[in-house]
């Protein structure tokens, strides 16, 4: 048993999964909520950072938002889908101003089977950091029409 636990720290491979984008998430991207298994593969809500200029101060500041990835079920390092725009960005007063301003940072996702209306609809509650001060929840409904 102890040998198996030691293997947890023995990383044997790594692969680049996602690099910063060109439209948004241009400064950096990173993991967010733990991927959740869906019938299309693995759904991940990730975070991205852009540098935005403040018109009042003429200085750059970081702007944290979230996007959506679908990983291949058998080869999770292969992406099947990357959201073309953010799915969550700082907009409310709690997201715009806090310990660190302009932050919507995904940290958890829960599938809500109780809210799904049909087989093509999947509903998730996303929990996220709001300006590094509060925890927020938003709801995401996806429809995978094939």
The boundaries of the domain holding residue 79 are 16-143
Number of domains in the chain: 1
Q: How many Cα atoms within 13 Å fall on the side-chain side of residue 95?
A: 19
Task: Tell me the CATH number at 125.
Answer: 2.115.10.20
Coil, strand or helix: which one is 47? strand
Judge whether 86 lies within some domain: yes
Predicted local confidence at residue 13, as pLDDT: 83
Beta pairing, strands 36-38 & 104-111: unpaired
In order along its 146 residues, the chain shows pLDDT tens digits of 566 777 777 788 889 999 999 889 999 999 999 999 998 999 999 999 999 888 888 999 999 999 999 999 999 999 999 999 999 999 999 999 999 999 999 999 999 999 999 888 999 999 999 999 999 999 999 987 75
Judge whether 11 lies within some domain: no
Distance, in Å, from the CA atom of 61 to the CA atom of 73, rounded to the nearest integer, reads: 37
Cα dihedral value 123, 143, 119, 136, nearest 10? 0
Judge whether 82 lies within some domain: yes
Judge whether 7 lies within some domain: no
Judge whether 2 lies within some domain: no
């Amino acid at each position: 048993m102890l040998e198996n636990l030691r293997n947890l720290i023995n990383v044997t491979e790594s692969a680049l999964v996602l690099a910063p984008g060109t439209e948004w998430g241009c400064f950096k991207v990173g993991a967010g909520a733990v991927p959740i298994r869906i019938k299309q593969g693995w759904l991940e809500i990730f975070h991205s950072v852009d540098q935005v200029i403040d018109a009042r101060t003429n200085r750059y500041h970081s702007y944290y938002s979230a996007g959506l990835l679908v990983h291949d079920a058998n080869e999770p390092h292969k992406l099947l889908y990357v959201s073309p725009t953010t799915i969550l960005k700082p907009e409310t007063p709690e997201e715009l101003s806090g310990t660190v301003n302009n932050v919507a940072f995904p940290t958890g996702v829960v599938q809500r089977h109780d809210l799904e209306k049909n087989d093509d609809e999947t509903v998730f509650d996303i929990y996220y950091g709001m300006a590094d001060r509060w925890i927020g929840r938003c709801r995401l409904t996806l429809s995978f029409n094939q």
